[in-house]
A and B are shown apart, each in its own frame.
Chain A
């Protein structure tokens, strides 16, 4: 198969997924309610995170518990570069002068966040990608804890565990939509690239791929850096969606949510990542709504706080039990194709072996 045919056969996937997100954004615009708008923004942010995670986890098969660390790096870049200098000097007096005076638009902060995260992903990746399997997963977890420990204690540039406020808040859905679509196209482009194909081949048949001369650590490294960049971008935008950052915003809670979305949707599939976000966001929203309380007749019925996470955990365990490859398995959403040769595997992002 030539590059051109792969491109033509798989381009439908990112287009469909983007169309789905655009439809959701248009719906939010039409409804015009503030809370719903915020929900949709959250959904787009999760798409960025989960797709970013999928670039590495999905292609390499190595579970990462540490990617939210890159979101943390990106989020603080947004704080460093977009807060008004007056506020900045009060909250984070240790910043260098050139950074202190800087005040850039959100999109530039998102790009800077992506680059900063990619830089660190490169440094960590150079070390972590030598490990494999479970040891690698544990090391990613250590990386998350390490970044969290540093950002929670480095008072002069991160204000430690207190909230850094004053990040300009973006309440319109469009920038988040654009970023989510960009993330989807990055993930797709990587998946069909030579490295992406090689990495998935290695995931499915480690011995065969090793024998075929694929440099697996290198391919993994590239996926790691790329996914780190996407996470960094998401982290910066996340900061803009709530207007503040704390280290614990980007810690175990977000790790759990993103990982559960990826698992439920299907780690091996880009469509799975996006659908997992959409489905679980709906579930989370429903549970939040119940936690807030529902009026039934004269009495208010409310679930205690924490039910949302418990529900998420239970769904995740059940999916792992009964459908470990997730809703989508290894397949992708695609347009029904006209019969041409073997069509028994419609819409694979590429050959699986």
Chain B
């Protein structure tokens, strides 16, 4: 029972991470058909923004020493800011470009961000202690669950609820949902394209920063490559979720977390290192049978 609970929490916390990433990808894809390959690097950037540039293995924590109630908004603002900046400087000029061109541009932008970090911090992973109080375990029904895991899940739930309320209850949210479904029609109803897109970038960047905080506290390291794996899983989740469907992306994110956790448990110890390879393989198999994703969004056809 206790170990089952442990597996459940593992799955939920890993799934949370993937769901947050997938949401960040799907938000932008929904409004502008951009598969944002820079997302992983926005994640890394948000964490490194808390550190002082140095080449040491132990990070010189700078803004990271802020109390949590300042640290969290600061990090979210950094992520949102970088994301909006990338829209203003780069993606705004690709409005009429096809999705493939935008995708490659975002890939290039991701590299620019990554090597900017490398320039300041080198490629060596740095150990950091973010919110150290969170590493203590708590006991739930006989299972020892790291407090951090619990908080990860709760934070993700809070983000999901907050985002849902935002999208359902506010005018801007309504415009965003309309734009995600049919961008041109929304514009013909006076919805300002640039504002909606900028909003999507800001939200996506803030989600990236949330991922960064979770990843940073979980692993205790900052690494310029840290976003790559989450981003890849997030991509896969958005494809499985049916490109552009936000609910689909979240569900698929949790599904991937569950698959990965279950594989970790059932695979023989020798094969555990290949867990992610098995997950990718499983996903590719899913795509054969449902190339349009598990939950394909109505009206979100890919513009060819």
Direct A–B touching, Cβ under 8 Å: yes
Q: Establish whether residues A320 and B97, one from each chain, have CB atoms under 8 Å apart when the complex forms.
A: yes
**Which residues of B in the span 249-304 have a Cβ within 8 Å of any Cβ on A?**
273-274, 276-277, 280-281, 283-285, 287-288, 291, 302, 304
Q: Establish whether residues A127 and B288, one from each chain, have CB atoms under 8 Å apart when the complex forms.
A: yes
Residues of A within 8 A of B108 (CB): 256, 260, 312-314, 316-317, 320
Chain A interface residue count: which class? Answer: 35 or more
Interface assignment of B103: CB less than 8 Å from any CB of chain A: yes
Chain B: how many interface residues by the 8 Å CB criterion? 44
Q: Which residues of B contact A (CB under 8 A)?
A: 33, 35, 90, 93-94, 97, 99-101, 103-105, 107-109, 111-112, 114-116, 118-119, 122, 228-229, 232, 235-236, 239, 243, 273-274, 276-277, 280-281, 283-285, 287-288, 291, 302, 304
CA distance in complex: A252, B103 (Å): 15
CA distance in complex: A139, B111 (Å): 20
Q: Establish whether residues B35 and A138, one from each chain, have CB atoms under 8 Å apart when the complex forms.
A: yes
Residues of A within 8 A of B97 (CB): 320, 324
List 13 additional A-B contacts (Cβ < 8 Å) besides A154-B274, A256-B107. Answer: A135-B243, A135-B287, A137-B103, A138-B236, A139-B239, A141-B235, A142-B232, A149-B276, A149-B280, A150-B274, A150-B277, A206-B304, A314-B112
Number of A-B contacts (CB under 8 A): 128
Query: Contacts A146-B281, A149-B274, A304-B119 hold; do A321 and B111 have CB atoms under 8 A apart?
Result: no
Name the one of B109, B284, B291, B302 contacting A142, with C-beta atoms under 8 angstroms. Answer: B284
Q: Establish whether residues B232 and A141, one from each chain, have CB atoms under 8 Å apart when the complex forms.
A: yes
Nearest residue (CB) in A for B97 is A324
Residues of A within 8 A of B229 (CB): 145
Residues of B within 8 A of A130 (CB): 287-288, 291
Interface assignment of A143: CB less than 8 Å from any CB of chain B: yes
- Report the minimum CB–CB distance from A139 to chain B (whole Å): 6
Q: Establish whether residues B111 and A256, one from each chain, have CB atoms under 8 Å apart when the complex forms.
A: yes
Interface assignment of A342: CB less than 8 Å from any CB of chain B: no
Name the one of A134, A146, A153, A324 contacting B35, with C-beta atoms under 8 angstroms. Answer: A134
In the complex, which of the residues A65, A127, A313 has the most CB atoms of chain B within 10 Å of its own CB atom?
Answer: A313
Residues of A within 8 A of B232 (CB): 141-142, 145
